[in-house]
Structure 1
Amino acid sequence: MVLDKIHRTIVDTPNAVAIVDLSTETPVQLTYEQLNDLADRCAARLLQLGIEAGEPVAYQLPGGWEFIVLTLALWRISAVPCPLLPSLREREAAFILKSSRSRVFIVPDSFRKFDYPSMVETLRPDVPNLEHVFILNMSERNPEYSNIGGLLAKTPVSTAALQAVRAKSTTYAQLLYTSGTTGEPKGVLHTHQSLSSALLAHTRTLGLQSSDKIWIPSPLAHQTGFLYGMMVSFYIGATAIVQAVWNVDTARIAIEEFGATFVQAAMPFLADLTKNPRPPKGLRLFIATGAAIPRQLAQQARSALDCTIVGAWGSTEACLVTVGRPSDAVEKLWGTDGRVIDGMQIRIVDENGMVLPAGHEGNFQIKTPAMFLTYLHHHEWYEEGFSDDGYFDTGDLAVIDEDGYLRITGRKKDVVNRGGEKIPVVEIEDLLYQHEAIADAAVVAMPDNRLGERACLYIVVNDKFPAPALDDVRRFLANQGMAKIYWPERLETISEMPRTASGKIQKYILRNDIVEKLSHSTQNV
């Protein structure tokens, strides 16, 4: 388990740097020994509050040393970390608090100009289970003076008391609510064993070692930051470099000043680094998740960052299942989501559950020892997700080529069915990424009385070029050899794509937007 790995690092190298927190004016650095002492004091306070083994505790903190100390403390008393993304607001926070039945909620006084205590006061009448609220003072981030909003006891808990509540491999280690691309949050429960299985496979496959420095620009409340940032660093006894607010200047500090060598993050992070006038250099490996890396971006990134760029696929439920290896051929690394990790299985099946041969698109199913255990309060959803022979249906459409490389082609719910003709959404988006005036693109279905659905294109314009019109986009696709039947039939320009924390575009928001616009235009006729 990760707890055992941390203990071994504390014993062997107590003065090794565990955390570099770049969210403060002067970066905070904690050794493993200091992290251990703070986590013990936090564990003592949680026990004083009566937090019991197996009890979820909710916290909505930005990525920083306090988040990590609290998480480790919860593990030490066998409680269940239930982190919320800082971007969530009253509606989502109230839902998670009620669903998790957390009696405790920890929030900052302010982050990115948002008043969290006011939000808590607004939602509190609707959350009767909430007993204790702790407010983190964001103006006092020095570990020597901060008490994490009252969550640090003056003295650590006794070894005997911690031993009495020590977590087992079957103890729940994480409760994450999926923001997802469908809009319906589900409480995903993982055990220490399932997460440890993911970490073992990940670190072996990619050859990560304690000498690596793990950069974490993703939110710690998302699986990418939580498991493949924070937990990876603990598992190998490395340094975690945490960045709470995204900007390339802070990323440069992480890479060039603190020596970050590895990162797993969404493709927009990679694009921002690559397009910067002075791309930071020093990374050894960038694992891009959320979507396959467009070939053009991959080529630019490899040259600009001077590091290996590989794609991967994973989910909150299953953790990482496929990833490119640094030794793989470039033509396989770029434009795919990698190949299956040792000890895991993937397959493509048709609507009747029959396994399809290489090169055929179908439903993407997986089997992995890192699989979650259940959806909180909805075990029936969990059971419905599995085939009779134990494969989990991801909800994605995909192709596996003859060499075993995966390429996600879309979500089942994202398919555009134009009069019985399926539009190759991902292929169109990949082509449009090459258009100089288009910074981001997403194709969604819009309802049509005659054909059932037509393709609507949403774009974010590259501010260095004039915004293209629909005819411009069509001419571009024609020049790329795309059949006319697949061309988008409406164009919407927006300032920013709605995305999950992992970088996936939330297409249900775009679909709802176009439905509403069409409804208004019909009413105005």
Structure 2
Amino acid sequence: MTTTPAARHRTPPTTAPAARHGTPPRSATAAPAVWTSRAGVPFPDHVPRRLRRAWVAAALCPEADLYGLFTARVREHPGRQALVDDAGVLSYAALDTQVRRTADLLHRADLGAGDVVAIRLADGRDAVATELAVYALGAVALPVPPGMGDRALRALLTRSRAAGVVLGATPQEGAGIVEDLPHMRAVFVPDQGPADGNDRTHVRIRHVTDRRDGRTAAASERHAADGAGRRHRPVDHRPVDPYGPARILVSSGTEAEPKMVAYSHHALAGGRARYVRALHPAPSVPPRHLVLVPLASSFGSLGTPVTLAALGGTLIVQSAFDARGALRLIAEHRPTHLFAVPTMLRRIAELPPRPGEDTSSLLAVVSSGAALPEATAEACRRRFARPVVTVYGSSDGVNCHTVGESRPPGDSVGTPDPTVARIRITGEDGAPLPAGRTGHIEARGPMTPMCYVGAPELDARYRTADGWVRTGDLGRLDEYGRLHVVGRLKRIAVRGGLNISLAAVERALEGHPSVAEAVCVPVPDADLGERVCACVRPAPGAPVPALSDLTAHLLHQGLGRRQLPERLLLVEEMPLGPTGKICHRTLAERARNSRSAS
């Protein structure tokens, strides 16, 4: 193909319901604006365009795309530290060099504007540079959170019709499941060749399987990440539509398969960045964020697009969580904020202080991903002598935090910020409820995502006609406007900040020959918050299954290890509720109380 990625992307505007990739319809009041990928996947924006434009006019969202914002940061402060990872420190100029080289590799594999590119890499410079390179080409990034098995990865690639995937760890990891995907044009796998004596300055992504003509090619050039001795082809980037999709957030929540939520450049650099800005009492001080959660997670999306592109700060990461290593990073690299899930925070706070330990650079400790136990919050306050901020949020586009508030009675999650996401409580009929009434939590604002990818049935279930997102949680707003989350409708277990779809585990369990029925429930756990218990009615005449039998079966079905049940409760028959459905509440109570659960 001779057309450049930028040229493909700049399709003239059209008033058709589904526009070509990169260009929404002109109408702001009729059908939703629709961005369509090169593979034909529609990305409708369920927020009315008049609202998006109003947020831009109010300076709540920048009129720029993420890569344009990043390059502006490079011009403003090329020598500032951009990234600290296991391999060392990269300045903005050095990271930009790696982004350009990675964009060139992607471009030579015919990946560009209108494509979805999946990224399955450990946190570090390769993951960050690849995501920014995807934005540079006007494509859509699909970072894959860790812990998802091959089954979930295949589902993501299939429903998004991703044109390329970048895999890490070993050449075999995940590569086999993409061989028969017709839409997949390029598969990047790690280079297993010699490191030329300086592996730390080289990106490990090298080999490309090119499907354009049914042939396989290998691109194995080695380019130094610091750019020494080599000039890279300038990225052929033109500003792309900031109303269009930039990144797909993945949630393994309530559905049998992971949900994919499409976020525009505006929603990430505007709404999602605004809640992070609220953490900083002195905007003139460059932020330094130690992000211990995976960058590919919903919580971790504050890393590359927000900390680097939108805020121009320093991002500090580990390739895998290590509590002692986190304390060393705080002492050595002086972050202003620590972002982690409660389990991580508890493990850090319980470690004895090191001699001469200095954590005074921290301005706040930020928790999200799961409910924060008060004991963990208090342990962090004692250890760091800093405020602990809780964030109630999800990939679906809801956000509320306790910035600037003392811990209020009733454990509210803070006062909603309408410049991030306005929150309302509705009844069963969808009508808003007054303060003090409990109902369904809905959200809409500058950070609201566009749509669910490849799942119009989820849009119908969770989105309203005027752009509100139904979160699936129950809550109330008190007389002071503070939000209280009182329960959830979603069937998930939150294990160490990872949402596990109970329906997905149940569906895989019922394929085991010794299982007649299976229901999974969350059980409280002092360390991880919740673990999964499989409640199983054995098949008549079949051997009674052991937990090890079931987990081996689930691994064979493609589930990730972190999705596996860790307790087993055998039942003679499933308890039923008044409507004749299985009563999950009764099973959860039995699982919590039964000594026989293993």
Report the TM-score, using the length of structure 2 for normalisation.
0.65
Whole-Å Cα distance in 1 between the matches of residues 165 and 292 of structure 2? Answer: 24
Determine the structure 2 residue equivalent to 1:323.
Answer: 401
Q: In structure 2, the residue corresponding to 1:299 is in which secondary structure?
A: helix
The correspondence of residues 478-497 of structure 1 with structure 2, limited to 5 A, is none
Determine the structure 2 residue equivalent to 1:365.
Answer: 442
Q: Which moved more, 1:37-46 or 1:63-72?
A: 37-46
The correspondence of residues 271-282 of structure 1 with structure 2, limited to 5 A, is 271-278=346-353, 281-282=359-360
Runs of 5+ consecutive residues of structure 2 not aligned to the other structure: 1-63, 208-218, 224-229, 495-499, 503-518, 529-546, 548-560, 576-598
Determine the structure 2 residue equivalent to 1:296.
Answer: 375
Counterpart check, 1:179 vs 2:252 = yes
Whole-Å Cα distance in 2 between the matches of residues 509 and 359 of structure 1? Answer: 39
How large is the RMSD of aligned CA atoms in angstroms? 3.6
Whole-Å Cα distance in 2 between the matches of residues 234 and 88 of structure 1? Answer: 27
Whole-Å Cα distance in 2 between the matches of residues 274 and 255 of structure 1? Answer: 13
Q: CA deviation at 1:16?
A: 0.8
Q: In structure 1, the residue corresponding to 2:375 is in which secondary structure?
A: helix
Determine the structure 1 residue equivalent to 2:319.
Answer: 244
Counterpart check, 1:227 vs 2:291 = no
Considering Cα pairs closer than 8 Å and 6+ residues apart, tell me whether 1 or 2 has the greater RCO. 2
The correspondence of residues 35-54 of structure 1 with structure 2, limited to 5 A, is 35-54=95-114
Q: CA deviation at 1:103?
A: 3.0
Judged with a 3 Å threshold, the aligned counterparts in structure 2 of structure 1 residues 28 and 304 are, in CA distance, closer, same or farther, namely same
Question: What percent of counterpart residues are identical?
Answer: 23
Q: In the alignment, is the contact (CA less than 8 A) between 2:268 and 2:305 conserved in 1?
A: no
Q: In structure 2, the residue corresponding to 1:328 is in which secondary structure?
A: coil
Determine the structure 1 residue equivalent to 2:510.
Answer: none
Residue deviations 1:35-68, cap 9 Å, x none? Answer: 1111111111211111130201112101010001
Counterpart check, 1:269 vs 2:344 = yes
Judged with a 3 Å threshold, the aligned counterparts in structure 2 of structure 1 residues 128 and 391 are, in CA distance, closer, same or farther, namely closer
Judged with a 3 Å threshold, the aligned counterparts in structure 2 of structure 1 residues 51 and 288 are, in CA distance, closer, same or farther, namely same
Report the TM-score, using the length of structure 1 for normalisation.
0.73
**Matched letter for residue 134 of structure 1:** F
Determine the structure 1 residue equivalent to 2:365.
Answer: 286
Determine which of 119, 124, 134 is the counterpart of 1:59.
119
The correspondence of residues 110-509 of structure 1 with structure 2, limited to 5 A, is 110=170, 117=172, 119-121=174-176, 123-137=177-191, 142=199, 144-146=201-203, 148-150=205-207, 158-159=233-234, 162-163=236-237, 165-207=238-280, 210-228=285-303, 231-278=306-353, 281-282=359-360, 283-318=362-397, 321-325=399-403, 327-331=404-408, 335-343=411-419, 344-414=421-491, 458-460=523-525
Q: In the alignment, is the contact (CA less than 8 A) between 2:308 and 2:314 conserved in 1?
A: yes
Whole-Å Cα distance in 2 between the matches of residues 400 and 98 of structure 1? Answer: 40
**Matched letter for residue 295 of structure 2:** L
Q: In structure 2, the residue corresponding to 1:162 is in which secondary structure?
A: coil
Q: CA deviation at 1:86?
A: 2.9
Q: In structure 1, the residue corresponding to 2:446 is in which secondary structure?
A: coil
Whole-Å Cα distance in 2 between the matches of residues 249 and 387 of structure 1? Answer: 45
**Matched letter for residue 323 of structure 1:** H
Q: CA deviation at 1:285?
A: 1.1
Judged with a 3 Å threshold, the aligned counterparts in structure 2 of structure 1 residues 246 and 508 are, in CA distance, closer, same or farther, namely closer
Q: In the alignment, is the contact (CA less than 8 A) between 2:160 and 2:454 conserved in 1?
A: no
Q: Which moved more, 1:129-138 or 1:258-267?
A: 129-138
Q: CA deviation at 1:107?
A: 1.4
Whole-Å Cα distance in 2 between the matches of residues 124 and 338 of structure 1? Answer: 44
Residue deviations 1:460-486, cap 9 Å, x none? Answer: 3679xxxxxxxxxxxxxxxxxxxxxxx
**Matched letter for residue 186 of structure 1:** K
Judged with a 3 Å threshold, the aligned counterparts in structure 2 of structure 1 residues 59 and 390 are, in CA distance, closer, same or farther, namely closer
Q: CA deviation at 1:380?
A: 4.3
Q: In the alignment, is the contact (CA less than 8 A) between 2:120 and 2:145 conserved in 1?
A: yes
Determine the structure 2 residue equivalent to 1:14.
Answer: 78
Whole-Å Cα distance in 2 between the matches of residues 209 and 269 of structure 1? Answer: 29
Determine the structure 1 residue equivalent to 2:69.
Answer: 5
Determine the structure 1 residue equivalent to 2:505.
Answer: none
Q: In the alignment, is the contact (CA less than 8 A) between 1:210 and 1:236 conserved in 2?
A: no
Whole-Å Cα distance in 2 between the matches of residues 455 and 48 of structure 1? Answer: 46
Judged with a 3 Å threshold, the aligned counterparts in structure 2 of structure 1 residues 237 and 142 are, in CA distance, closer, same or farther, namely farther
Whole-Å Cα distance in 1 between the matches of residues 222 and 241 of structure 2? Answer: 25
Whole-Å Cα distance in 2 between the matches of residues 254 and 455 of structure 1? Answer: 38
Q: In structure 2, the residue corresponding to 1:15 is in which secondary structure?
A: coil
Q: CA deviation at 1:7?
A: 2.0
Q: CA deviation at 1:348?
A: 1.4
Q: In structure 2, the residue corresponding to 1:339 is in which secondary structure?
A: coil
Whole-Å Cα distance in 2 between the matches of residues 93 and 507 of structure 1? Answer: 14
Determine the structure 1 residue equivalent to 2:570.
Answer: 517
Q: CA deviation at 1:173?
A: 0.7
Determine the structure 2 residue equivalent to 1:500.
Answer: none
Whole-Å Cα distance in 2 between the matches of residues 389 and 413 of structure 1? Answer: 23
**Matched letter for residue 185 of structure 1:** P
Q: In structure 1, the residue corresponding to 2:236 is in which secondary structure?
A: helix
More helix by share: 1
Q: CA deviation at 1:194?
A: 1.6
